[in-house]
Amino acid sequence: MSILSGKGKVKLNGQKGLTKDKPILSIEAPDVVYIPLVLGMATDFDVHVKEGDHVCIGTKLATRKSMYVPIYSSVSGTVKGIEKRMHVSKRLQQHIVIENDHKDERVKAIEVSNPDDMSQSEVFEAIKELGLIGLGGSGFPTYIKYSHPENIDTILINGVECEPFLTSDHLAMKRDIKALFDGTQFLMKAADAKKAIIAIKEHKPDLMEMLVEEAKNYPSIEPKEVPDRYPMGWERVLVETVFKKEYDKLPAEIGVIVNNSSTAIALSKGIRNGEPITHRVVTFSGNGVVNPQNVEVAVGTPVNYIIEKIGGYIEDPYDETEGFLLGGGPMMGKSVMNDTFVIYPYCNAITVLKKENIKPLPCLKCGECTLHCPAHLQPVRIMQGEKGANVELLEKLEVDRCVECGMCTYICPSKIEVTDMVAKAKRRVQLAQKRKNA
Amino acid sequence: MKITLQRTSPNYRQKLSTHRIMRDLTIGLLVIVAYSLYNLYYNYSSNEPMMAAALIYLVSVGVGLVTEVVWALIHKENIVEQLKNSFPWVTSIIFALTLPIGTPLYVVAIGSFISIFLGKLVFGGFGSNIFNPALVGRVIVHLSFGDKLLPYIEAMKPITSGGFDITTAATPAAALAGTNWMGGEAFQYTLMDLFLGNHGGTLGETCIWIILLVGIFLAVRKVFDARIPVAYMGTVLVLSAVYAAACGLDIATYPFMQLCMGGIVFGAVIMATDPVTSPTSPLGKILFGIGLGFLTMIIRLKANYPEGVLFSILMMNMLTPWIDSLVLGRTNQKIGKQVLSIVLSLVVAMGCVFGIAEGVKADIAAAKAKEEADRIKKEEAEKKKAEEEANSFNWRVLEVVDGGYIMETYGYGGEDKPMKIEVKVSQDTVTSVKVLESAGETEYYGAEIIKGTNVASEKGKAFYDKFLTGEFKTSEIDGVDTQTGATLTTKGIVNAIKGAIVMSQMEREVNGDTYIYTISEVGYTQDKPMKIKVTVDKASATVKSVEILESAGETEYYGAEVIKGTNVASEKGKAFHDQFLAKEFAFDAIDGVDTQTGATMTTKGIVSAIKKAIAATK
């Protein structure tokens, strides 16, 4: 009942029109690429190459230790070494430096002899060996989701892309629609699921038409439209909207596994062609770039290289405009202090926004944040608890369920940085719990 | 473009801002203000009410702004910033809208200052106040200057030229309160009257439909959450329906009449919805609205205070932090528990209102019963008095003896066997009472009383001891309890004694069959009795003449006219004079005469004297 729980969603101005109808610009890899040895928060990698080694597109460079995730080279050339460089995580991280010989020699990451006749465990192994990660921005190793599938009957393909400005998934789906369905089928195989649903936002008639047409060849895959709301792309909101059922921690509790559409496409390409994740479609948008559009680039390409190639930042002749560079969309993307960081495998957008002077007013306790939080938390109370350093209150408010989607700050009429306060509260509670358990 | 670091995310904001919210709220308030001015202009021939109202608004907003400016100066803050971010005009306009039209301007100024200063600034400014600031000012002004908050303009005292003067009639809420909230003939407003607002009240609260329209506009523009006014007004409707059902009123219209009176709609839409002073969670807002409805109805019905809205909003403001602290966790969990809390609070509220309704009904029934009992008592007392009066002439004088009389009265034996009692009276003392003949009084009853034996009842023995053995004052025989178990006997003895006393108070001259009495009888004035001379002819049983010798205590235009028989007396008075004071009449003509002549006491006195004379002659 949204009378008691609030809407939990909002219709926001997506501004997708900036990039939706422009073709994907393929940008050649630069002379030097830097492959980050980072996956989310993990930096523990076994590096398999050393300085001087010759590599091709698809050569395995390193493997993550804690969860098996191999990473591959996106260019062919020579390994120059490892160097520390600014990473999107706002820290200096290790990167493998590769000098590009521009020959684009390829090597297969995996070899599958019988793609149309694979067993469940074979698909699983393929997923693992390809180093498939959540390409919707999470970077979570996909094989973990499929390691012990029990009673999974539906694969939900998340093509919603609810972040404003983003259109990379949309254009990738249109371009590689066959691979999308193909990959979905593999995922169904991996989970032994009976059917799959491909979910996209409504009001995309061009994509929907193509999906419906292609679905004729795949009777167990159904395209479905969901309302155009933020954050419809969040797993929890999407599953509850499509299946009308709630779950506590994982959608597997109700027999569903969710994967991003680009992940499905990458799986298909990986199994059919042996391609690991070496290139990806990235949306460069925002009011800070001259020509917002989608580009296809090699993993490891520095952002400033791409920005130059697409026309650069906007410049005001009279004033030095300040702007932010966000890794991701404007809602959940984090600002990086300069544009030297590289495109990482699970990067789907770079948003450049002009700085706005926003002066916050006192909180008027209107409760809009509570009404719109997709996790149905109470951000205003969490803010009060954080200001009073009241860990007990914060625990009662279940602050650990926050995913920092940014809805509370977006909706606050007083322009208060609510999400920031909630994030701080989360850290406070985590710290307190660590201390308690220590 | 220079790339800089922005530590926080997200970097996207919606268009709705607090400034826009307050701007839309100001527009809504100005619509109500404009309507109030237009209404005053339209309903009056002179411009004075409209100007008075306009002055109230101006003074309120002006003082509010000055207060904020002074505060900003003292705290060395930018004045424009302070005003822009503190929105004092909103509080001032709301405060002005809660005032009646006759409020003196200095009261408006003081109230506006208190609203801004005590209601908001001392708490820490916008967003930190606990109570609705306009209400803080309103309540303090109400308690300190209550009698100055007049519903009419002093200089424009009531115009008694027909028509319905909206500023001077009691507000509908007060009118309904007078009927225990039950309506009836005393309450003349129809539902349409209330809806359109053609009645007195505070400046802003009367026109229901304008307020509702403004409310819808503001809810759509997301100025406030619609849950609060809907819950408030819905609860009022539900509780009013319960009251109507319990008291037998029309359930279809009564709840809406309650809703449209006393500023509930204004309070629900403008004052209760202030986000700063209401809970943040959806469940909290609904409970807040229910609590408001409950408190308003309780204050109205039980404390019989028509304007319960102010106090209920302030009380719920107080409870807001507590409600917030109760609603924890996620808002979509424990839906069952949330719904249960709503239903439970409604049920408790309905139960309380039902109890109050029953109490009011019981009160009304008790008052009616008491009225009935009083009336019966009065009737009985009057009956008793009439009886006593009739009885006071149930005696005959047989003989005049030394110091007293031998009286003949009827006891148990009735007319066949009357009692003969010798009663001796001296001044104000009855010196002796002797029953000479009492053949008609039966043994074990009246006879025992007369003899004073122990066979008589207790009361009878007491009667004997008091009245038949020794002396007693003449005043002591009045109102004596004759219920001795031998009532007729006792009554007879009492009549004899009373008769003897009356005889002793008269002067009597006997000339053959003509008896002339001079009687002193109290008329209109207790300490100035009339002196009446009555001449009676025993043989023809007629009263020959009645002369009023002294009548100083009878007033002009009243008793004196009856006595003189002038035309100034009432018709009945003149008739009385003509029949009894101007000519002779038979003994029985005086029986059952109507003494309601417009000078009743005088007439009763004269009649009493005539009756005494007749009785003494028989």
- How sure is the predictor about B159, in pLDDT bands with cuts at 50, 70 and 90? very low
Contact B4 A322 (CB under 8 A): yes
Please count the other Cβ atoms lying within 10 Å of the Cβ belonging to residue B302.
15
- State residue B268's pLDDT score: 93
- Asked if residue B8 is part of any domain, the answer here is no
Interacting residues of A252 by C-beta distance below 8 A, sequence separation 6+:
A145, A149, A150, A152
User: Does residue B551 sit within a domain?
Assistant: yes
Both B347 and B469 in one domain: the answer is no
* pLDDT reported for residue A380: 93
Q: Look at residue B586 and tell me whether its pLDDT is greater than 70.
A: yes
Residue B171 has pLDDT above 80, yes or no: no
Q: In whole angstroms, give the CA distance from residue B169 to residue A144.
A: 79
Task: Tell me, yes or no, whether B4 lies in a domain.
Answer: no
Measured between CB atoms, which of A4, A358, A401 is closest to B283?
A: A4
Per-residue pLDDT at B18 exceeds 70: yes
| Contact assessment for residue B293 and residue B234, using Cβ atoms and an 8 Å cutoff | yes
pLDDT reported for residue B392: 65
Q: Do both B579 and B525 map to the same domain? A: yes
Same domain, B184 and B233: yes
Distance in angstroms (rounded) separating the CA atoms of residues A129 and A143: 9
Angle between helical axes of B18-43 and B88-97 (0-180°, round to 10): 30
Same domain as B513, residue B458? no
Dihedral class, residue A205 (left if φ above 0, else alpha if ψ from -120 to 50, else beta): alpha
Which of A314, A336, A358 is facing B1, going by the closest CB pair?
A: A314
Name beta bridge partners: A35.
A96
> Tell me, what's the pLDDT at B175?
66
pLDDT in tens, B282-332: 999 999 999 999 999 988 887 766 667 889 999 999 999 999 999 888 888
Residues B272 and B381 in one domain: yes
Q: Please name every residue paired with A114 in a beta bridge, in sequence order, or none if there are none.
A: none
Give me the amino acid identity at A39.
L
B48 plus B69 within the same structural domain? yes
A12 → chain B, closest CA residue: B14
Choosing from B121, B141, B161, the residue where a domain stops is B161
Q: Which domains does chain A have, with CATH numbers?
A: 18-108+277-354 (no CATH), 115-273 (3.40.50.11540), 366-437 (no CATH)
List, as one string, the DSSP characters of A361-428: -------HHHHH-TT---HHHHHHHHHTT-HHHHHHTTGGG----SHHHHH-TT---HHHHHHHHHHH
The last residue of a domain, from among B455, B475, B504: B504
List pLDDT tens digits, range B376-412.
999 888 888 777 766 666 777 777 778 788 888 887 7
Closest CA–CA distance from residue A372 to any residue of chain B (Å): 11
Domain shared by B157 and B196, yes or no: no
Contact predicate B468/B494, CB 8 Å: no
Closest Cα to residue A224, out of A158, A166, A161?
Answer: A158
- Assess if residue B5 is contained within a domain: no
Q: Does A255 touch chain B (CB under 8 A)?
A: no
**Residue B139: which domain range?**
15-161
Identify the pLDDT of residue B566: 79
Mean pLDDT for chain B? 83
Residues contacting residue B439 through CB under 8 Å, at least 6 positions apart:
B413, B417
- Among A5, A88, A384, the strongest candidate for a mutation testing the B interface, having the largest count of B CBs within 10 A, is A5
Number of domains in chain B: 4
For residue B468, pLDDT beyond 60: yes
Dihedral of CA atoms A10, A13, A16, A18 in degrees, nearest 10, equals -170
Residues B493 and B513 in one domain: no
CB contact set of B320 (below 8 Å; sequence gap of 6+): B130, B277, B278, B279, B284, B288
In A275-334, the residues whose Cβ lies within 8 Å of chain B are 288, 313-315, 320-326, 330-334
Q: Is B248 domain-assigned?
A: yes
**Position B256: which residue type?**
F
Report yes or no: A427 at the B interface, CB cutoff 8 Å: no
Asked if pLDDT for residue B416 goes beyond 90, the answer is no
Same domain for B302 and B366, yes or no, is yes
Rounded to an integer, what distance in angstroms lies between the CA atom of residue B220 and that of residue B239?
27
Q: How confident is the model at residue B157 (pLDDT cuts 50, 70, 90)?
A: very low
pLDDT band at B574 (very low <50, low <70, confident <90, very high): confident
Q: Count the alpha carbons within 13 Å of A129 in the hemisphere toward its beta carbon.
A: 17
pLDDT band at B161 (very low <50, low <70, confident <90, very high): very low
For residues B541 and B565, membership in a common domain is answered with: yes
ipTM above 0.85, yes or no: yes
Which of B56-65, B260-269, B478-487 is most confident? B56-65
B3, part of any domain: no
Are B280 and A367 an interchain contact pair (Cβ–Cβ within 8 Å)?
yes
Do B486 and B568 have their domain in common? no
Helix crossing, A418-437 with A379-387: angle to 10°?
60
Question: Among positive and negative, which fits the CA dihedral A393, A399, A404, A405?
Answer: negative
> Looking at B161, B196, B231, which one is the last position of a domain?
B161
B198 occurs within a structural domain: yes
CB contact under 8 A, A410 and B12: yes
Kindly determine whether residue B330 and residue A377, on different chains, have CB atoms separated by under 8 Å.
Answer: yes
Range scoring the smallest mean pLDDT among A285-294, A425-434, B147-156, B158-167? B158-167
Torsion of CA A169, A171, A175, A180, to 10 degrees: 20
pLDDT of residue B256: 84
Q: Is residue B130 domain-resident?
A: yes
- In chain A, which residues have pLDDT < 70? 1
* Least Cα separation, residue B241 to chain A (angstroms): 24
**What mean pLDDT is predicted for residues B30-38?**
90
Give the one of A323, A362, A381 whose C-beta lies nearest to B1's C-beta.
Answer: A323
> Does B275 sit behind a cis peptide bond, omega within 30 degrees of 0 on the bond before it?
no
Q: What is the nearest CA distance from B74 to chain A, expressed in angstroms? A: 21
Residues B133, B39 share a domain: yes
